[in-house]
């Protein structure tokens, strides 16, 4: 008993307690909103509890591991990630009213492999950068780093998962920018994207994705495609400052069609309707503190590998937050991207905890001696 207590106390003294506290606060807040949105639906709540438990265990395990040791296995992580995305293309299934094949059935439950590949991508890309950082702007290294980013993006496009594709593109862009890649490369990439935009519109985007984009500019003409967002925005605005009260939102507590995907895509709308502007601002404040802690840990990291890992996690969570909240406010089209820590789904919450585990590992090993002269085997 004493040994276990000492181990717990030692962990508490070494870890980033503010980051853990606000991570758990976000998770608890999200769980309450999910419980309200589903009216206590047993299966959804049970899956979320299981996801939180597994995620917490995974976070603690990863945080105790030296991130250098994690990165050493980058080849196996990369191969495993590619395999996961590849088999999803062939055996993946879609959710209701969705065109993407991003889910794999495992008995009574489904998993979304791309959620875990996000964490794997951060690890492998950070390691890749760390190996070439002295000459990162050479054309060869730029092409190899770009190939590193393009591979999972292509697999996600083959799954027709446009939302997660966008997340990976923005993560890759953010990490390349943080790697001090010369701006000329971004200018070239931006120019090529503009040139290819007609092809992307006609060949990559499906009818549903196109209509969701067009509905932002003409919600009346594309009313069917804009329905989820107009309902979400109506729920948020109806909550005013303080909301109707938890478990009392008319649209949240009404039939599911009043606020489609309220426990997932529209969880921010649930907060707006039932807890008002105060509830929405609280979500943004919690995320802001989590982001500040991640950035501080990145700056305090003892080397570029740890710093880049933290930056990748920051990019992953922040991009998803902006896309999800922007969609709820009808600023961006609906892409099926969850709100980290808040939306329901075991894959999402486990991925979030694993991401925080990586950041905690960087924090807890920031004072270790550098592996002088140690090269990747």
**Does this model's pTM top 0.85?**
yes
pLDDT (tens digit per residue) in 236-248: 999 999 999 999 9
Given a cut of 60, is residue 209 above it in pLDDT? Answer: yes
Q: Answer yes or no: is 4 within a domain.
A: no
pLDDT for position 374 = 42
Q: Answer yes or no: is 58 within a domain.
A: yes
Q: Is 189 exposed, middle or buried (0-12, 13-18, 19+ CB in 10 A)?
A: middle
pLDDT for position 377 = 37
Q: Answer yes or no: is 71 within a domain.
A: yes
Token couple for 119: 């964490």
Task: Please tell me the total count of domains within the chain.
Answer: 1
Q: Answer yes or no: is 170 within a domain.
A: yes
pLDDT for position 98 = 67
pLDDT for position 376 = 41
Q: Answer yes or no: is 198 within a domain.
A: yes
Residue with token string 């959620």: 115
Pick from 152, 7, 187, 173: nearest CA to 78: 152
pLDDT for position 166 = 95
Q: How many residues does the chain have?
A: 377
pLDDT for position 184 = 96
95 or 115, higher pLDDT: 115
pLDDT band with cut points at 50, 70 and 90 for residue 97: low
User: Using CA atoms, how far apart are residues 318 and 138, in angstroms rounded to an integer?
Assistant: 29
Q: Answer yes or no: is 122 within a domain.
A: yes
Q: What is the mean pLDDT of residues 154-174?
A: 94
Q: Answer yes or no: is 102 within a domain.
A: yes
pLDDT for position 369 = 47
Q: Answer yes or no: is 234 within a domain.
A: yes
Q: What is the mean pLDDT of residues 278-283?
A: 98
Q: What is the mean pLDDT of residues 114-122?
A: 97
Pick from 81, 111, 101: nearest CA to 347: 111
pLDDT for position 289 = 98
pLDDT band with cut points at 50, 70 and 90 for residue 309: very high
Domain that holds residue 337: 22-364
């Amino acid at each position: 008993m004493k040994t276990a207590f000492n181990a717990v106390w030692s962990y508490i003294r070494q870890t980033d307690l503010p980051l853990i506290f606000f991570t758990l606060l976000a998770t608890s807040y999200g769980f309450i909103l999910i419980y309200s949105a589903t009216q206590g639906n047993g299966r959804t709540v049970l899956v979320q509890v299981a996801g939180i438990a597994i995620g917490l265990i995974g976070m603690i395990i990863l945080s105790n591991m030296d991130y250098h040791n994690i990165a050493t296995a980058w080849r196996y992580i990369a191969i495993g990630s590619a395999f996961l995305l590849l088999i999803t293309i062939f055996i993946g299934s879609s959710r209701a009213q969705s065109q993407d094949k991003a889910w794999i059935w495992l008995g009574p439950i489904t998993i979304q492999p791309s959620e875990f590949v996000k964490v794997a991508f951060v690890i492998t890309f950070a390691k890749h950068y760390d190996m070439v950082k002295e000459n990162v702007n050479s054309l060869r290294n730029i092409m190899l780093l770009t190939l590193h980013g393009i591979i999972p993006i292509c697999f996600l496009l083959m799954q027709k998962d446009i939302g997660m594709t966008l997340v990976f593109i923005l993560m890759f862009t953010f990490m390349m920018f943080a790697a001090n890649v010369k701006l000329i490369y971004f200018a070239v990439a931006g120019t090529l994207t503009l040139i290819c935009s007609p092809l992307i519109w006609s060949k990559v985007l499906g009818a549903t994705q196109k209509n969701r984009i067009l509905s932002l500019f003409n919600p009346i003409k594309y009313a069917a495609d804009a329905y989820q967002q107009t309902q979400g925005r109506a729920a948020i605005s109806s909550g005013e400052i303080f909301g109707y009260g938890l478990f009392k939102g008319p649209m949240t507590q009404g039939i599911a069609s009043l606020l489609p995907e309220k426990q997932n895509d529209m969880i921010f709308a649930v907060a707006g309707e039932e807890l008002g502007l105060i509830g929405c601002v609280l979500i943004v404040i919690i995320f802001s503190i989590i982001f500040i802690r991640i950035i501080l840990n990145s700056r305090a990291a003892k080397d570029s590998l740890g710093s880049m890992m933290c930056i990748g996690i920051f990019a992953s969570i922040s991009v998803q937050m902006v896309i999800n909240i922007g969609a709820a406010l009808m600023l961006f089209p609906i892409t099926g991207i969850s709100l980290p820590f808040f939306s329901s789904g075991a894959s999402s919450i486990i991925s979030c905890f694993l991401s925080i585990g990586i950041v905690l590992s960087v924090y807890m090993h920031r004072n270790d001696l550098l592996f002088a002269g140690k090269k990747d085997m």
